[in-house]
Amino acid sequence: MLQQNWAHILFTFSHLNHQPSTSHPNTDYSRIRTTQYLDSNASYFRQTLIFSAFLTPELNALFNSNMLNISGKQKISPIYPGAIESLPLSVRGQIAQTFTRFKSSSGSDPSADPDDRFRYFTSGVLPSLSRTHKAASDDGGAGILLFVPTYHDFVRLRNFFSSDPRCAHLSFGSISEYSDATEVRRARSFFYTGKNDVLIVSGRAHHFRRYMKMQGTKRVVFYSVPENAEWYREAVGWLEGVLERGGQGSVRCLFSRWEGLALERVVGTKRVGKMVREGREDIFEFR
């Protein structure tokens, strides 16, 4: 459901337990419980159960605003060992996984997070991508795979790479959930042969098509933490090719203090607390 339009879920819940605007001719009103239903108290007696593979901010908001049962509510969430502990054996221990926390401009409002993230990427990450491009110019291309979980961020980065002068020296391709088969084949081929230095992949494209290999990948950059930890495992697994050829791969993941739930599933419950806490170091490296 998270890969669809979440507004549909909110629309459905906003229309639960309303009184009908018209009555059925055979309705026996004497059988309706007045205090519960005719007095608009049905939402306080409704039992609602939600099952999900993992917890997200959207589900938290739904839980807080729509679970109103007078008997209370309960939320159960597991303890996560972290996706970094279950990477493919061929890459575990051989690559550096760097998690970088950028500073949020607002201490209480996550709506500024997209702009803060974009600002940090263009000023703090793009220069390192340019250096990677220069160092790999004679080695079959830079092989930078930019994994962008959300489509809005994907469009913003695609436009940035295509129009900003700072990216003029970086050739790139892109794959989204709206790319047809021909566009996907061309983008993957150009990336594998080194014609394109950067390949931008949206999270939903990977979710629906489930690429098991992305040949040519030498460095994976996560623009934000994937909600589904399986995406992280699978994308890091794309580095198997460069390791088999004796090369070196690397992973970098950007995150903010607002991504604690997704980060917990990737790094583990024991590590996430100190990583999202402000005032401490902002770069964390694991192998």
> 109 and 67 share a domain?
no
> 63 and 179 share a domain?
no
pTM of the entire predicted model:
0.89
> 104 and 246 share a domain?
yes
> 242 and 164 share a domain?
yes
> 41 and 151 share a domain?
no
CB-based contacts of 129: which residues, under 8 Å, 6+ apart? Answer: 142, 144, 170, 198, 221
Per residue in 166-202, pLDDT (tens digit) is: 999 899 999 999 999 999 999 999 999 999 999 999 9
Residue 21 inside a domain? The answer is no
Total of domains in the chain: 2
> 71 and 89 share a domain?
no
Question: What is the arithmetic mean of pLDDT over 242-260?
Answer: 91
CB-based contacts of 226: which residues, under 8 Å, 6+ apart? Answer: 147, 149, 203, 232, 235, 262, 266
Residue 16 inside a domain? The answer is no
| Mean pLDDT for the chain overall | 90
- 3-class SS letters over the chain: CCCCCHHHHHHHHHCCCCCCCCCCCCCCHHHCCHHHHHCCCHHHCCCCCCCCCCCCHHHHHHHHHHCCCCCCCCCCCCCCCCHHHCCCCCCCCCCEEEEEECCCCCCCCHHHHHHHHHHHHHHHHHHHHHHHHHHCCCCCCCCEEEEECCHHHHHHHHHHHHHCHHHCCCCEEEECCCCCHHHHHHHHHHHHHCCCCEEEEEHHHHHHHCCCCCCCCCEEEECCCCCCHHHHHHHHHCCHHHHHCCCCCEEEEEECHHHHHHHHHHHCHHHHHHHHCCCCCCEEEEC
Residue type, 64: N
> 173 and 192 share a domain?
yes
Per residue in 80-130, pLDDT (tens digit) is: 999 999 898 778 888 999 999 998 887 778 889 999 999 999 999 999 888
| 184 to 179, 180, 205, 283: CA distances (angstroms) | 6, 6, 10, 34
Integer Cα distance of 42 and 38 in angstroms: 8
Q: Which of 60-74, 82-96, 127-141, 267-281 has the lowest mean pLDDT?
A: 127-141
Task: Identify the domain containing residue 45 by its residue range.
Answer: 1-10+29-77
